[in-house]
């Protein structure tokens, strides 16, 4: 069993027949004009939903979507497109309940037919969700028998449906997606095959410090790209023009580089860049070396850096990748990120992608299906790797109230 799942019961070990089973899903999916643009999180949790149905359970699904702040946001952040997607893809009738705190769910469950699934409207429409309200959790618990968490991407949030609700339920467990996520991340912590490389990108060094420090003694090296690379380069005295730099982290980053090298580990930084005078400019040039001239900002690693990074990865047996190499959403600035995805796709290695923007980038590259695992939780995966407790997992363990 995964170390992270000690004391947690898997859904396959629970009796679900004729039980009212609440499955906390992560349907926080990207949308444009009401259309789902990436269904990864939905399809990833369907095996858990399907299993519960086949075991004879009455299924109630709950999730959040986005960050609604006022009632005017309700239409924008409704789960109705997700309900329609599930109906069209899997052929079940999805009954969307507008108010999870009303008596409607209890009444609907009593007459639920075999092909029907209840879905609660966006849980963040209820004020008690983000407050981790006992009252809101108690209301949800009043019409369910079994609680299953399969929302890895929300498990680092101490919210009512993730943290307080399972503590009220004597019968609770983890879905198949949660089990897979933690097994993959535990492999990075406990039993990685060597050589082991960590690729870090994205905007902020501060978001990645905990993971770097946790893995510094386990890895063979770090590859640093994306905007966070400019803070690293600045710490080494390299001019980075107008690139994004976390100035309050420059001194710390310099010390971090020394600590990595003192342990005999490698740290690779960009040796050239794709730059422009603004993020909106259509004119992109490539620098001849690691320096970025005044008036320009780095927006992607350059072709020499791609070759350096990808060559080093050829011998890797384990790779963890979190953070794109540049502004991959722009076709002129996606080459570096896509080159990394292509390189990883050709390795005979455990290649694990840490959710969020990196997952979107991997999918956009066309190589996602050739990677070992793409996490559905960016923030949750980082917090787990750096050793922070995840409320959504801890609340599933035996002896946490409920029993």
- Do 268 and 221 meet the contact criterion of CB atoms below 8 Å apart? yes
Closest by CA to 168, choosing from 143, 145, 139, 138, is 138
Among the listed residues 10, 66, 87, 204, the single catalytic one is 204
Those residues whose C-beta lies under 8 Å from the C-beta of residue 15, and which sit 6 or more positions away, are none
75 is annotated as an active-site residue:
no
- Do 223 and 344 meet the contact criterion of CB atoms below 8 Å apart? no
Residue 204: CB atoms within 10 A of its CB come to 15
- Do 127 and 150 meet the contact criterion of CB atoms below 8 Å apart? no
Among the listed residues 10, 210, 254, 379, the single catalytic one is 379
356 is annotated as an active-site residue:
yes
**Distance from C-alpha of 67 to C-alpha of 81, rounded to nearest angstrom:** 16
Q: Give one DSSP letter per residue of 68-94, joined into a string.
A: --SGGGTTTT-SHHHHHHHHHHH-PEE
Among the listed residues 173, 202, 326, 356, the single catalytic one is 356
**Distance from C-alpha of 373 to C-alpha of 185, rounded to nearest angstrom:** 10
Among the listed residues 20, 41, 124, 157, the single catalytic one is 41
**Distance from C-alpha of 400 to C-alpha of 395, rounded to nearest angstrom:** 6
Q: Give one DSSP letter per residue of 112-129, joined into a string.
A: --TTEEEEE--GGGSHHH
- Do 60 and 95 meet the contact criterion of CB atoms below 8 Å apart? no
41 is annotated as an active-site residue:
yes
Q: Which helix (H) or strand (E) holds 191?
A: none
- The angle, 0 to 180 degrees and rounded to 10, between the axes of the packed helices 356-365 and 378-385 is 120
- Catalytic residue list: 41, 204, 356, 379
């Amino acid at each position: 069993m995964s170390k992270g799942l000690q004391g947690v019961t898997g859904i396959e070990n629970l009796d679900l027949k004729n039980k009212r089973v609440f499955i906390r899903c992560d349907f926080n999916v990207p949308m444009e004009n009401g259309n789902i643009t990436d269904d990864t999180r939905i399809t990833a949790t369907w095996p858990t939903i399907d299993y519960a149905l086949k075991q004879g359970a009455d299924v109630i699904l709950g999730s959040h979507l986005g960050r609604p702040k006022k009632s005017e946001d309700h239409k924008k952040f409704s789960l109705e497109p997700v309900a329609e997607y599930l109906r069209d893809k899997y052929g079940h009738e999805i009954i969307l309940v507008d108010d999870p705190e009303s008596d409607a769910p209890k009444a609907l469950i009593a007459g639920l037919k075999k092909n029907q699934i209840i879905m609660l409207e966006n849980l963040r429409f209820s004020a008690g969700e983000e407050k981790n309200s006992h009252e809101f959790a108690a209301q949800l618990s009043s019409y369910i028998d079994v609680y299953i968490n399969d929302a890895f991407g929300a498990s680092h949030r101490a919210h009512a449906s993730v943290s307080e609700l399972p503590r009220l339920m004597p019968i609770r467990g983890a879905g198949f997606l949660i089990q897979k996520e933690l097994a993959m991340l535990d492999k990075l912590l406990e039993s990685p095959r060597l050589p082991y490389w960590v690729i870090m990108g994205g905007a902020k060094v501060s978001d990645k410090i905990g993971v770097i420090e946790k893995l510094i003694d386990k890895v063979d090296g770090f590859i640093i790209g994306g905007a966070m690379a400019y803070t690293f380069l600045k710490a080494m005295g390299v001019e980075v023009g107008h690139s994004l730099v976390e100035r309050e982290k420059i001194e710390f980053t310099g010390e971090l580089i020394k600590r990595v090298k003192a342990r005999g580990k490698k740290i690779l930084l960009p040796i050239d860049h794709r730059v422009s005078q603004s993020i909106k400019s259509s004119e992109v040039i490539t620098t001849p070396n690691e320096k970025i001239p005044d008036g320009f900002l780095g927006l992607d690693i350059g072709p020499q850096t791609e070759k350096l990074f990808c060559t080093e990865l050829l011998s890797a047996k384990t790779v963890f990748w979190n953070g794109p190499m540049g502004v991959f959403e722009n076709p002129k600035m996606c080459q570096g990120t896509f080159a990394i995805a292509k390189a990883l796709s050709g390795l005979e290695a455990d290649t694990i992608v840490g959710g969020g923007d990196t997952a979107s980038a991997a999918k956009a590259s066309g190589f996602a299906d050739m990677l070992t695992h793409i996490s559905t939780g960016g923030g949750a995966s980082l917090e787990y790797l750096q050793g922070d407790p995840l409320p959504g997992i801890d609340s599933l363990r035996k002896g946490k109230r409920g029993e």
